[in-house]
């Protein structure tokens, strides 16, 4: 055939394939191939699988004892059927997980091929030397399961990369969104009484943090749902070791991160801690007001108890992970199915720039999304003898169909966050039926999709601290916040102490190298 | 002693002796030397910094706070447990009915795993749904067992007392049971008051046991770890970070072995001083018997 | 003496004893309840009567027992505790016998005894790091053997001291006559002394078993997935979603069950053992 005929022949073939493929909506997102119903499996992959490539081999995965490690077992079985490879999963108590990973890596014992790691461990993976494998080369390999990196939302993508390169395979999507009792807040009678007391009407969702505080205070300490029990404004988990410091980070983000300034933790040029800035202080004082509009027992609550209060219908606002929304759909434990509103935390009109040391005002509240939490996902150890096999296993779970399956089912512990898991009106490809089939209420599906989409795709994002020693820094925040909120010490002095502790920890790891890692973490 | 070989006594003694020398003395010395270095896991022994670790510790307000609450903890729990144990032992000793039953029941808590007791404590001291506040509710009280600093400290102490009173009970009961009947009979010629009998017959007889209980309990109490770890995680704030938890976090969570070793040694010295004093009292009373 | 107490006084004594019993037993009963209460009812203390106020459920048991790691934890605990007890009994008894029956010239018996006694004063945390490093070097981290080594170290002094007291109580005469008959030291030890010390051996075994069964600090630090013992399993009831109290309760029952059952059967021996260790130094 002559050249021009070849060209037109190709054009026809291309047009035909487009026509054939379009009706199935199989183009999917933004250039992705395949859909959750019909995942894309390349020819090379199919050929590769024909030889049972991993038969007789075993990989060892270390995971923490949490809900999110459950799917690992189910998928290990399926994966084994497909590839012949065996997966040995070991779970250890969450309290010792970090320790176990790093004793394994630092001492060179290298017993594990992969870890279901938390996002903030990354700094430790790179301190001194690199302990995990970059995965770009596997991502480019057509023989490997295809999971379309474009479907990872920008907030989470930040967590899976270091210094601009991919290391983690997407799994859980953690971020704290704001939850409120739409049904209660919509009651005219309560709206009127609120207006009498506070002089304005609140919006739904609330317009800024002050409104949230007012609402919580208004609804605290009386029975507003007529069940005979006293109800509260706010519920949260502030037990030391119960991840209370994440509450603080979520709440404080918009007080400090703004178009003027993107740094929350340190000044990247000097490594001075910013945590005792005026913005941080105001955030803490406001958080204290919010916490006082809830049961005092909160100071000793972990997630289960905090969520329990909301699920029983006794709290009017909360901000926490996607699990709350998922748990709300289970009629056995929840009395708030169909009554939720979810949105990104509304933000504040005045933010502080801790580098320039000045306050900045905005007309519209300054909103910051967050990716706070473990976002537990797979990474490959450099000591693995079978890195490709380990990648294969994790990538299998990240594959669009499997990830979708995980995210629709609350009990897996994997929260909604990949683009295809959001509803169509939010840029995703899921339908309301996908959710309701899994026992979600229609209201729940729409609100969760909207709220978390707002959160993960917000223009500004919080940067979770992931430099070496992140656990120590986080624990320092945890203890100090707990002290302030339980009334043990005053906020200003406490934050200064926190800055001191930060300096100590930084000095121990080496200021210069911490500065380097901080910049890498920020992707600079 | 005809027939006894000289070799036999060493054969019998040596395994244990060698074990102690190897597994106790060696690590002790190792730990001591470690405390003079800056040592982080993975980066090995970095620098000899002399007493810098110790200076850091003594300069740290966290250290003094932890030491303070640990000492309070030790004093309160040991006193309470000894008194309660004595009281119960005294009563059970009176040849009442069901003596065996009571004796067994009062021994049971000693076998519980401390971390399990801590988690159990979370459900019992749960402020809205726990047993403690349910009972307190009958008196119109509502106590912040776990969400306030004093409450958390109190909860830890209460659990500790529950767990360890049996220890005092057992030892003191045995001591009381060692008092011969004839002494009772002699005393009863003079008085009918049980209090007098207690004061002049029983108390002197169990002086040794009492000291023993106090000494052993004190040593144990300084080592408290599992209970507060599972009950409060050290919170709220830092109100229940007792000494061992503090050392554990520094060494195993942050891998800061140099400071961890130094802290451990400070504890050892404190405990040794306390014990030495008590031990002297013990020997004197032993000699008096 | 009690017989002569007046009725009201007697009543008072019994009341106090009963109250104390309730106080001692409540946590056990509470654990039993937690193990069978459905999760929603967990924080309703008023709901205490099974079948009437709540439906007992086996959900926690199903979850725990079929979680292979719980069974593994149980097995590990058994292996470690038995191993520790065995070794302590063997070398501890021998050492106790040596201290009771023989005279040492270089170092006096009394000093040796005090040396062993002083080990009990040692706060375990002081040797936490060195043990970790040692076990790392000989590759015994996360192994049952490693944990046994650690536990033996802490229980050995106890064993030595108790057995020494026991042997001190047994009259030497029987052994002496055996020697006269031509037996050697080892035969005397094995055939005569040991059988006479049966009660002491039992008491020691029980106590050492209980202590290593409950040991948490070193188990947490030195074990990973392979050698986890029950206390570590209990701690793992805490997940990212909060503590699963039902699961913790089941683990607790598994953890405290065996020692308690053993105690109830052998409680009289227990008291003697503990006190022998205490009184006759």
Question: Helices B26-34 and C128-137: crossing angle, nearest 10°?
Answer: 110
Asked whether the CA dihedral A290, A296, A302, A306 is positive or negative, the reply is: negative
Two tokens at A343? 């949105």
- Reported ipTM: the value is 0.75
Q: Is A476 on the interface with B (CB under 8 A)?
A: no
Supply the pLDDT for residue C101: 82
Q: Is A330 on the interface with C (CB under 8 A)?
A: no
Q: Are A517 and A162 in contact (CB under 8 A)?
A: no
Distance in Å from the first CA to the final CA of chain C:
30
Supply the pLDDT for residue B215: 82
What residues contact A214, with CB distance under 8 A and at least 6 apart? A194, A198, A202
Scanning every residue of chain B, which has its alpha carbon at the shortest distance from the alpha carbon of C172?
B1
Mapped to the 3 state alphabet, what secondary structure does C107-151 carry?
CCHHHHHHHHHHHCCCCHHHHHHHHHHHHHHCCCCCCHHHHHHHH
Q: Per-block average pLDDT, block size 10, for chain C (281 residues)?
A: 65 85 86 76 60 70 71 86 93 88 77 78 78 82 88 88 80 82 83 82 81 83 79 71 69 76 64 49 36
Two tokens at A248? 């603080």
Q: Is A68 on the interface with C (CB under 8 A)?
A: yes
The DSSP element (H or E) to which A349 belongs, if any, is strand A348-353
Q: Which chains touch C (3 or more CB pairs under 8 A)?
A: A, B
Q: Are B200 and B91 in contact (CB under 8 A)?
A: no
Q: Which CATH architecture has domain C67-276?
A: Orthogonal Bundle (1.10)
Of A279 and B227, the structure prediction assigns the larger pLDDT to: A279
Distance from CA of C148 to the nearest CA of B (A): 12
Q: For Cα atoms A229, A233, A239, give the angle at the middle one, nearest 5 degrees.
A: 100
Scanning every residue of chain C, which has its alpha carbon at the shortest distance from the alpha carbon of B172?
C275
Contacts of A96 in chain C (CB under 8 A): 220, 232, 235
Give the Cα separation of C92 and B90 in Å (integer).
Answer: 33
Q: Are B24 and C160 in contact (CB under 8 A)?
A: no
pLDDT tens for residues A392-444? 999 999 998 899 888 888 778 888 888 888 988 888 878 888 888 888 899 99
Helix (H, G, I), strand (E, B) or coil at A117: strand
Using a 10 angstrom Cβ sphere, with 0-12 exposed, 13-18 middle and 19 or more buried, the burial of residue C145 is: middle
Rank A97-111, A179-193, B89-103 by mean pLDDT and report only the highest.
A179-193
Of A246 and C107, the structure prediction assigns the larger pLDDT to: A246
Alpha carbon distances (Å) from B111 to A174, A385, B107 = 41, 45, 8
Nearest to C72 by CA among C212, C245, C223: C223
pLDDT tens for residues A31-81? 688 888 888 888 899 999 988 889 999 999 999 887 888 899 999 999 999
Supply the pLDDT for residue A345: 93
pLDDT above 90: percentage of residues in chain A: 53
Scanning every residue of chain A, which has its alpha carbon at the shortest distance from the alpha carbon of B39?
A508
Q: Are A391 and A399 in contact (CB under 8 A)?
A: no
CB contact under 8 A, C134 and B27: yes
Per-state percent for chain B, helix, strand, coil, to nearest 5: 75, 5, 20
Least confidently predicted of A7-11, B73-77, C36-40, C247-251: A7-11
DSSP character at residue A61: E
Q: What is the mean pLDDT of chain B?
A: 81
Q: Where are the domains of chain B?
A: 51-287
Question: What is the topology classification, in CATH, of domain A9-174+374-439?
Answer: D-Maltodextrin-Binding Protein; domain 2 (3.40.190)
Give the Cα separation of A485 and A294 in Å (integer).
Answer: 12
Contacts of B275 in chain C (CB under 8 A): 121
Distance from CA of A299 to the nearest CA of B (A): 5
The number of residues making up chain C comes to 281
Two tokens at C153? 């170290």
Distance from CA of B254 to the nearest CA of A (A): 7
Supply the pLDDT for residue C53: 64
Q: How confident is the model at residue B286 (pLDDT cuts 50, 70, 90)?
A: low
Contacts of B152 in chain A (CB under 8 A): 300
Q: Are C81 and C74 in contact (CB under 8 A)?
A: no
Q: How confident is the model at residue A19 (pLDDT cuts 50, 70, 90)?
A: very low
DSSP character at residue B146: T
Q: What residues in chain B have their Cβ under 8 A from chain A's Cβ atoms?
A: 40-43, 122, 126-128, 144-149, 152, 232-239, 249, 252-256
pLDDT tens for residues A263-314? 999 999 999 999 999 999 999 999 999 999 999 888 888 888 888 889 888 9
The DSSP element (H or E) to which B104 belongs, if any, is helix B99-107
What residues contact C212, with CB distance under 8 A and at least 6 apart? C80, C81, C84, C85, C151, C155
Q: Where are the domains of chain C?
A: 2-41, 67-276
**In chain A, what's the furthest Cα-to-Cα distance?**
85
Supply the pLDDT for residue B123: 80
Of C43, C225, C239, Cβ closest to residue A66: C239
Distance in Å from the first CA to the final CA of chain B:
29
Q: Is A415 on the interface with B (CB under 8 A)?
A: no
Select from C110, C130, C215 the residue whose CB has the most chain B CBs within 10 Å, as the one to mutate to test that interface: C130
Q: Which CATH code is given to the segment(s) B51-287?
A: 1.10.3720.10
Scanning every residue of chain C, which has its alpha carbon at the shortest distance from the alpha carbon of B23?
C153
Of B128, B149, B234, Cβ closest to residue A297: B128
Contacts of B1 in chain C (CB under 8 A): 176, 179
**Residue B77 in this model has a pLDDT that exceeds 80:** yes
CB contact under 8 A, C180 and B111: no
pLDDT tens for residues A354-387? 999 999 999 999 999 999 988 999 999 999 999 9
Q: Are B265 and B35 in contact (CB under 8 A)?
A: yes
Q: Which chains touch A (3 or more CB pairs under 8 A)?
A: B, C
CB contact under 8 A, A242 and C242: yes
Helices (H), A38-142: 43-50, 70-83, 94-106, 122-126, 136-139
Supply the pLDDT for residue B64: 92
Backbone angles phi, psi at A257, to 5 degrees: -90, 125
Two tokens at B83? 């008194």
Q: Is A100 on the interface with B (CB under 8 A)?
A: no
pLDDT tens for residues B108-164? 887 778 888 888 888 888 877 677 887 887 888 878 888 888 889 999 999 999 999
Distance from CA of A475 to the nearest CA of C (A): 15
Give the Cα separation of B79 and B65 in Å (integer).
Answer: 21
Q: Is A240 on the interface with B (CB under 8 A)?
A: yes
Bridge partner residues of A315 (DSSP): A232
Asked whether the CA dihedral C8, C9, C14, C20 is positive or negative, the reply is: positive
Nearest to A131 by CA among A141, A152, A144, A117: A117
Strands of the A177-181 sheet, one edge to the other: A232-234, A315-320, A177-181, A340-343
Supply the pLDDT for residue C166: 79
pLDDT tens for residues A208-231? 999 999 999 999 989 988 888 889
Backbone angles phi, psi at B37, to 5 degrees: -120, 160
Mapped to the 3 state alphabet, what secondary structure does A358-422 carry?
EEEEEEEEECCECCCCCCCEEEEECCCCCHHHHHHHHHHHHCHHHHHHHHHCHHHCCCCCEHHHC
What's chain A's Rg over C-alpha atoms? Answer: 24
Give the Cα separation of B276 and B282 in Å (integer).
Answer: 10
Distance from CA of A351 to the nearest CA of C (A): 32
Supply the pLDDT for residue C4: 59
Of B9, B20, B110, Cβ closest to residue C119: B20
Q: How confident is the model at residue A348 (pLDDT cuts 50, 70, 90)?
A: very high
Considering the entire predicted model, what is its pTM?
A: 0.81
Helix (H, G, I), strand (E, B) or coil at A222: strand
Supply the pLDDT for residue C243: 63
Distance from CA of B48 to the nearest CA of C (A): 17
Nearest to B4 by CA among A160, C237, C176, A144: C176
pLDDT above 70: percentage of residues in chain A: 94
Rank A345-349, B185-189, C14-18 by mean pLDDT and report only the highest.
A345-349
Domain A177-370 CATH superfamily = Periplasmic binding protein-like II (3.40.190.10)
Of C172 and A336, the structure prediction assigns the larger pLDDT to: A336
The DSSP element (H or E) to which C194 belongs, if any, is helix C194-196
Backbone angles phi, psi at A64, to 5 degrees: -80, 155
Distance from CA of C213 to the nearest CA of B (A): 8
Query: How many CB pairs below 8 A link B and C?
Result: 291
Where, residue-wise, is CATH 3.40.190.10 in chain A? 9-174+374-439, 177-370
Give pairs for A37-41: CB < 8 Å, separation 24+.
A37/A401, A38/A401, A39/A146, A39/A399, A39/A400, A39/A401, A39/A402, A40/A146, A40/A148, A40/A400, A41/A145, A41/A146
The DSSP element (H or E) to which A342 belongs, if any, is strand A340-343
Supply the pLDDT for residue A145: 92
Q: Are A231 and A314 in contact (CB under 8 A)?
A: yes
pLDDT tens for residues B245-285? 888 888 776 777 788 888 888 888 888 888 888 777 767 76
Of A107, A241, A295, Cβ closest to residue B128: A295
Give the Cα separation of B9 and C103 in Å (integer).
Answer: 8
Least confidently predicted of A166-170, A325-329, C47-51, C108-112: C47-51
Give the Cα separation of B150 and C249 in Å (integer).
Answer: 26
Q: What is the mean pLDDT of chain A?
A: 87
Question: Helices C245-279 and C7-36: crossing angle, nearest 10°?
Answer: 140
**Residue A489 in this model has a pLDDT that exceeds 70:** yes
């Amino acid at each position: 055939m002559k050249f021009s005929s070849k060209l037109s022949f190709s054009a026809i073939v291309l047009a035909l394939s487009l026509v054939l493929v379009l009706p199935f909506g199989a183009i999917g997102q933004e250039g992705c191939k395949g859909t959750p119903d019909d995942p894309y499996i390349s020819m090379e992959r199919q050929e590769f699988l024909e030889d049972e490539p991993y038969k007789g081999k075993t990989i060892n995965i270390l995971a923490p004892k949490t809900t999110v490690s459950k799917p690992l077992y189910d998928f290990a079985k399926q994966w084994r059927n497909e590839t012949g490879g065996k997966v040995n999963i070991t779970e250890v108590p969450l309290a010792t997980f970090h320790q176990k990973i790093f004793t394994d890596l630092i001492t060179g014992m290298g017993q594990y091929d992969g870890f279901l790691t938390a996002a903030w461990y990354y700094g430790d993976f790179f301190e001194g030397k690199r302990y995990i494998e970059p995965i770009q080369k596997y991502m480019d390999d057509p023989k490997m399961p295809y999971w379309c990196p474009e479907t990872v939302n920008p907030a989470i993508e930040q967590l899976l990369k270091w210094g601009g390169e991919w290391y983690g395979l997407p799994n859980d999507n953690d971020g704290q969104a704001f939850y409120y009792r739409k049904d209660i807040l919509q009651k005219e009678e309560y709206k009127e009484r609120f207006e009498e007391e506070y002089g304005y009407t609140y919006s739904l969702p609330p317009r800024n943090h002050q409104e949230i505080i007012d609402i919580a205070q208004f609804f605290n300490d009386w029975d507003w749902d007529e069940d005979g029990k006293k109800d509260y404004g706010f519920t949260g988990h502030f037990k030391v070791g119960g991840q209370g410091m994440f509450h603080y980070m979520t709440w404080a983000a918009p007080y400090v991160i703004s178009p003027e300034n993107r740094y929350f933790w340190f000044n990247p040029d000097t490594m001075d801690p910013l945590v005792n800035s005026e913005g941080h202080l105001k955030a803490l004082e406001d958080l204290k007001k919010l916490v006082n509009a809830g049961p005092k027992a909160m100071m000793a609550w972990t997630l289960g108890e905090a969520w329990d209060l909301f699920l029983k219908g006794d709290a009017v606002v909360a901000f926490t992970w996607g699990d709350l929304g998922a748990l709300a759909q289970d009629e056995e434990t929840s009395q708030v199915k169909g009554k939720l509103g979810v949105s990104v935390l509304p933000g504040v009109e005045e933010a502080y720039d801790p580098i320039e040391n000045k306050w900045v005002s905005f007309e519209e509240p300054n909103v910051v999304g967050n990716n706070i939490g473990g976002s537990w996902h797979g990474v490959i150890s450099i000591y693995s003898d079978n890195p490709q096999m380990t990648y294969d296993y994790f990538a299998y779970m990240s594959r669009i169909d499997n990830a979708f399956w995980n995210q629709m089912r609350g009990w897996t512990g994997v929260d909604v966050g990949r683009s295809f898991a959001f509803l169509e009106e939010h840029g995703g490809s899921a339908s309301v039926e996908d959710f309701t089939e899994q026992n979600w209420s229609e209201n729940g599906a729409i609100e969760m999709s909207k709220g978390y989409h707002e959160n993960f795709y917000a223009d500004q994002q919080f940067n979770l601290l992931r430099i070496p020693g992140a656990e120590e820094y986080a624990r320092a925040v945890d203890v100090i916040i707990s002290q302030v909120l339980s009334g043990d010490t005053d906020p200003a002095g406490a934050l200064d102490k926190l800055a001191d502790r930060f300096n100590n920890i930084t000095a121990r790891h080496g200021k210069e190298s911490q500065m380097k890692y901080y910049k890498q973490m920020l992707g600079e | 002693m005809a027939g006894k070989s000289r070799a036999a006594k060493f054969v019998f003694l040596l395994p244990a002796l060698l074990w102690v020398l190897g597994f106790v003395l060696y690590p002790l010395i190792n730990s001591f030397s470690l405390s003079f270095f800056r040592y982080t896991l993975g980066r090995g022994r970095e620098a000899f910094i002399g007493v810098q670790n110790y200076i850091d510790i003594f300069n740290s307000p966290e250290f003094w706070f932890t030491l303070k609450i640990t000492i309070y903890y030790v004093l309160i729990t040991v006193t309470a447990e000894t008194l309660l144990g004595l009281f119960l032992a005294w009563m059970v000793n009176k040849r009442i009915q069901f003596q065996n039953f009571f004796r067994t029941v009062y021994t049971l808590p000693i076998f519980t795993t401390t971390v399990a007791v801590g988690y159990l404590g979370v459900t019992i001291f749960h402020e809205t749904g726990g047993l403690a506040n349910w009972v307190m509710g009958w008196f119109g009280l509502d106590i912040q067992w776990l969400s306030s600093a004093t409450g958390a400290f109190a909860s830890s102490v209460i659990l500790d007392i529950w767990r360890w009173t049996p220890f005092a009970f057992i030892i003191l009961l045995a001591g009381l049971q060692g008092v011969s009947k004839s002494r009772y009979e002699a005393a009863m010629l003079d008085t009918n008051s049980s209090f007098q009998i207690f004061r002049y017959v029983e108390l002197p007889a169990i002086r040794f046991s009492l000291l023993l209980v106090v000494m052993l309990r004190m040593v144990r109490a300084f080592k408290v770890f599992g209970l507060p770890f599972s009950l409060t995680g050290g919170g709220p704030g830092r109100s229940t970070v007792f000494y061992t938890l503090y050392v554990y976090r520094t060494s195993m969570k942050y891998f800061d072995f140099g400071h961890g070793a130094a802290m451990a040694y400070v504890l050892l010295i404190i405990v040794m001083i306390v014990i030495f004093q008590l031990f002297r009292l013990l020997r004197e009373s032993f000699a008096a018997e | 003496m009690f017989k002569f107490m007046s009725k009201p006084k007697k009543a008072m004594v019994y009341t106090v004893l009963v109250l104390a019993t309730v106080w001692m037993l409540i946590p056990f009963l509470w654990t039993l309840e937690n193990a069978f209460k459905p999760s929603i009812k967990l924080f309703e203390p008023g709901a205490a009567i099974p079948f009437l106020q709540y439906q007992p459920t086996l959900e926690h048991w199903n979850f725990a027992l079929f979680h292979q790691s719980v069974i593994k934890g149980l097995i590990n605990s058994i292996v470690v505790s038995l191993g520790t007890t065995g070794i302590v009994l063997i070398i501890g008894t021998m050492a106790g016998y040596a201290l009771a029956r023989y005279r040492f010239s270089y170092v006096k018996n009394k000093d040796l005894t005090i040396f062993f006694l002083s080990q009990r004063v040692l706060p375990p945390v002081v040797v936490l790091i060195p043990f970790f490093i040692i076990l790392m070097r000989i590759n015994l981290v996360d192994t049952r053997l490693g944990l046994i080594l650690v536990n033996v170290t802490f229980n050995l002094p106890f064993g030595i001291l108790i057995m020494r007291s026991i042997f001190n109580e047994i009259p030497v005469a029987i052994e002496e006559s055996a020697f006269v008959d031509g037996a050697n030291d080892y035969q005397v030890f094995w055939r005569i002394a040991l059988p006479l010390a049966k009660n002491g051996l039992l008491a020691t075994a029980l106590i050492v078993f209980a202590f290593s069964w409950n040991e948490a600090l070193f188990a947490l630090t030195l074990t990973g997935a392979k050698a986890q013992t029950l206390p570590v399993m209990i701690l793992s009831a805490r997940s990212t979603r909060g503590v699963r109290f039902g699961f913790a309760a089941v683990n607790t029952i598994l953890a405290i069950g065996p020692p308690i059952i053993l105690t109830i059967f052998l409680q009289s021996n227990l008291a003697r053992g503990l006190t022998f260790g205490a009184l006759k130094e």
